Structure 1
Amino acid sequence: MTDNQGDPRHLETLDRDLERYSNLELASSYVSRPMVGPGISLVFVLLAGIAAMLFFGQETNSFIVVVAACLGAYMALNIGANDVANNMGPAVGAGALSMGSAIAIAVVFESAGALIAGGDVVSTIAKGIIAPESMGTVDVFIWAMMAALLSAALWVNLATWVGAPVSTTHSVVGGVMGAGIAAAGFAAVNWPTMSAIAASWVISPVLGGLIAAGFLWLIKSKIIYREDKIAAARTWVPILVGIMAGAFATYLALKGLKKIIKIDMPTALLIGAVLGVVIWAIMIPVIRKQSEGLENRNKSLKVLFGIPLVVSAALLCFAHGANDVANAVGPLAAIVQASQSGTFGDTISIPIWVMIIGAFGISFGLFLFGPKLIKMVGGQITKLNPMRAYCVALSAAITVIIASWLGLPVSSTHIAVGGVFGVGFFREWDAERRIRNARLTMPDRTSFTPEERKRRKLVRRSHFMTILAAWVITVPAAATLSAAIFYLINTVMA
């Protein structure tokens, strides 16, 4: 028998076989990649259910708690996939953070906000949307909360899939309202509260957009359009960073630390003012040192806004974790309390294990599915740079402060996305203004056809209409879905 392994024809056959296996491996990897996220998510949901079973296996209604824990984990995954993108999107779109760094920072600060400063007391019926006495029995209340939780999670999942950032809090509100109507009729709904929430659909994005546009105008007029941009930046960047520090100190004092210490509005404003002045004084020599050797052009200015932008994104994530997570897992906490005590009241305390499910679920959801919405918010609505993204982050903090002062319910999602739109539409207006001014001196070089003017729009209208439509239908869509789920559960369990 002869050894033909050295035969060139044998080697060619071996190469072809190896290439086939290599191509098969690549194809298998490509096909299986879309299944990795859902697979890990399913494992997390099951682990949440197993953990609930271990903790409450001896309880009378342990099965209900296990199912509710799975639904809460599913909701938390969707919060991470959709809501967190609004905080990190501008920093990523501006190039101040890579996608990996943004996800790492968001995971740490969202989890810290949820676990350290997460709201310890929330309304059992999602901020008083439904009168508790209208629910009748504990079983009806539990089915209503389950329907609300599942419908909100399904709606946010759908919105993430189509690429629309929506408010998870509004989704929960819609779910609770729909289940409440299905259980007890329209009279059970607190319509004044619902009217205030509906008003926030307009107030949140408009206020956020106006404030972001106002700060961009300030940066352009005081720094970008100046003859000596670097000298102007040395004066104004410390002031802007001081304003940011003061705004976030006030924001966190009001919203992010309420579990640790209760602070009223005047005290929070005083804390913000003092810290803002301190940071302004510290930043003067820092910016002077950082600006040494920079060329007198717009690109150099981006360096000076990079670190403040990253810090603001991290603080937004902390405040979001402290507030919105509690609202989203509130129905889960209500189910747990009702199952254990057999009663339901106006307020409940969120158990630590529920907050852990929320914190870890957000982290997994952001890591697995967040990049899609981060890219959309950060780069597909309008082009962002560090100055523009900084205006968006600053407007988010200031808008929440103003809304708290006025007693208006607002959505962090709507504020952040409204800020992005505000920056984009201001840039369009500013470009048109400069073209009109230039046309007075060079009419032949600055005339555009209608098609060219449409092409030069700086905000993508398709995304604007998609997001606006998603915002408008979030509450009614979640309510309709929740009512249908409640009828199904009630029919099966009856």
Structure 2
Amino acid sequence: MHSVSPDLVIMILVVLMALSFDFINGFHDTANAIATSVSTRAISPRLAIIMAACFNLIGALTYTGVAKTIGGSIADPFKLQNGLVVVLAALTSAILWNLITWWFGIPSSSSHALIGGVAGAVVGAAGFGAINAAGFISIVQALIVSPIVAFVIGFIMIKIVSSLVANAPYHKTNKNFRILQVLSASWQSFSHGANDAQKTMGIIAFAMASGGFLDAPGGNIEIPLWVKFSAAIAMAFGTSVGGWRIIKTMGGKIMKMTPISGFSADVSSAMIITIFTALKLPVSTTHVITSSILGVGASQKFSAVKWGVAGRIVVTWVITLPCTALLAAACYIVYDVFL
């Protein structure tokens, strides 16, 4: 009778935790796609969540470029000792952070949590020299630049849209833009799935490569089909559960939404996420969408934005990477003793 390999047991645990992270990411980030359309009553909450889940699933199955970036740019999985334990620690950190911020209704970044967790666990396992500095910096740059661009695009987008409908009847304009919001929320959901679900695919591929469960000819990690489907389904299922605490924050606590402002924010953020996904760069959909809303609000009236709430969100953005990195390093030390 053959004994089960300890690495196989840890690999199975990693997959289960990665899919759990993806599920939590789904309900944590549902607000990203549907908060504006729900707050303006363009679509009912129940239908919005179903729609978001469907388009998240389609988006998750469409691309793999971001997954390959996550799988090989932060550290080389083939040179990492205890790579499976590293991933386990990173996922534990990211999941705990997501649950804490979800409980308090703060739209923090699942992407920052995961990337911070991976970096912290790698450093905890092998020191700073194990980090691929160029790859890690390019990922962090994308995370920093994308919300800034989203703010600017949101600021400009609402100006353009408002000028186009300046002479149209108010009630008719609102009715038309509620219909358009259904389309923009669909694009938002698709882009969210296309970028965010790939992070889970990448982390599973990273673990498989480091544990010797995945070949990578020429150092090029290919994402197995079962990984794509399982990550896509986990995120879609999580999305279907909904994240009402964060939906309330995104939909009304940052600024008072109208159909025009909601549509402008959705289109701005979906466009940015789609572009960065095509560039194979992970972004925080939470940061991008929140920044678009802030840009739209600031363009209309600076005082329309509740900057106190926005400031609390920004503080969470700033502390997520270091907090999850430290937490992951601590988790690695604990796991390394017991596993």
Class of the TM-score when normalised by the shorter of the 2 chains:
0.7 to 0.9
Structure 2 counterpart of 1:257: none
Give CA deviations for 1:179-218 in whole Å, capped at 9, x if unaligned.
Answer: 1111111122233443344444542222112111212112
Q: Is the 8 A contact 2:49 2:242 kept in 1?
A: no
Structure 1 counterpart of 2:73: 128
Shift in Å at residue 125 of structure 1? 5.5
Q: Secondary structure at the match of 2:221?
A: strand
* Residue 303 of structure 1, aligned match among 166, 175, 180: 175
In structure 2, stretches of 5+ residues that fail to align are: none
Aligned AA for 1:393? D
Matched, 1:479 2:319: no
* Residue 325 of structure 1, aligned match among 197, 209, 218: 197
Higher RCO (C-alpha under 8 Å, 6+ residues apart) = 2
Structure 1 counterpart of 2:94: 152
Structure 2 counterpart of 1:359: 232
In structure 1, stretches of 5+ residues that fail to align are: 1-56, 231-295, 430-456
Specify whether residues 408 and 490 from structure 1 end up closer, same or farther in structure 2 by C-alpha distance, changes over 3 A only. closer
Give CA deviations for 1:166-189 in whole Å, capped at 9, x if unaligned.
Answer: 232222211111011111111222
Shift in Å at residue 141 of structure 1? 0.9
Question: 1:344 and 1:144 mapped to 2: Cα distance?
Answer: 19
* Residue 75 of structure 1, aligned match among 2, 8, 21: 21
Specify whether residues 398 and 179 from structure 1 end up closer, same or farther in structure 2 by C-alpha distance, changes over 3 A only. same
Q: Secondary structure at the match of 1:349?
A: coil
Specify whether residues 91 and 193 from structure 1 end up closer, same or farther in structure 2 by C-alpha distance, changes over 3 A only. same
Specify whether residues 158 and 357 from structure 1 end up closer, same or farther in structure 2 by C-alpha distance, changes over 3 A only. farther
Question: 2:247 and 2:23 mapped to 1: Cα distance?
Answer: 15
Q: Is the 8 A contact 1:378 1:384 kept in 2?
A: yes
Aligned AA for 2:125? A
Matched, 1:314 2:259: no
Matched, 1:188 2:130: yes
Question: 1:392 and 1:479 mapped to 2: Cα distance?
Answer: 31
Structure 2 counterpart of 1:90: 36
Shift in Å at residue 313 of structure 1? 1.2
Q: Secondary structure at the match of 1:348?
A: coil
TM-score (norm 2): 0.88
Structure 1 counterpart of 2:306: 460
Q: Is the 8 A contact 1:64 1:339 kept in 2?
A: no
- Greater shift in the superposed pair: 326-335 or 179-188: 326-335
Specify whether residues 65 and 98 from structure 1 end up closer, same or farther in structure 2 by C-alpha distance, changes over 3 A only. same
Specify whether residues 312 and 125 from structure 1 end up closer, same or farther in structure 2 by C-alpha distance, changes over 3 A only. closer
Q: Is the 8 A contact 2:191 2:273 kept in 1?
A: no
Q: Is the 8 A contact 2:77 2:206 kept in 1?
A: no
Alignment size in residue pairs: 336
Shift in Å at residue 133 of structure 1? 5.3
Structure 2 counterpart of 1:247: none
Question: 1:184 and 1:337 mapped to 2: Cα distance?
Answer: 17
Give CA deviations for 1:132-162 in whole Å, capped at 9, x if unaligned.
Answer: 4541x3xx11111111122112212222112
Q: Is the 8 A contact 2:117 2:321 kept in 1?
A: yes
Q: Secondary structure at the match of 2:67?
A: strand
Shift in Å at residue 408 of structure 1? 7.2
Specify whether residues 323 and 405 from structure 1 end up closer, same or farther in structure 2 by C-alpha distance, changes over 3 A only. closer
Larger radius of gyration: 1
Q: How does 1:26-65 map to 2 (within 5 A)?
A: 61-65=7-11
Aligned AA for 1:313? A
Specify whether residues 405 and 311 from structure 1 end up closer, same or farther in structure 2 by C-alpha distance, changes over 3 A only. closer
Specify whether residues 161 and 424 from structure 1 end up closer, same or farther in structure 2 by C-alpha distance, changes over 3 A only. same
Shift in Å at residue 89 of structure 1? 1.3
Specify whether residues 219 and 145 from structure 1 end up closer, same or farther in structure 2 by C-alpha distance, changes over 3 A only. same
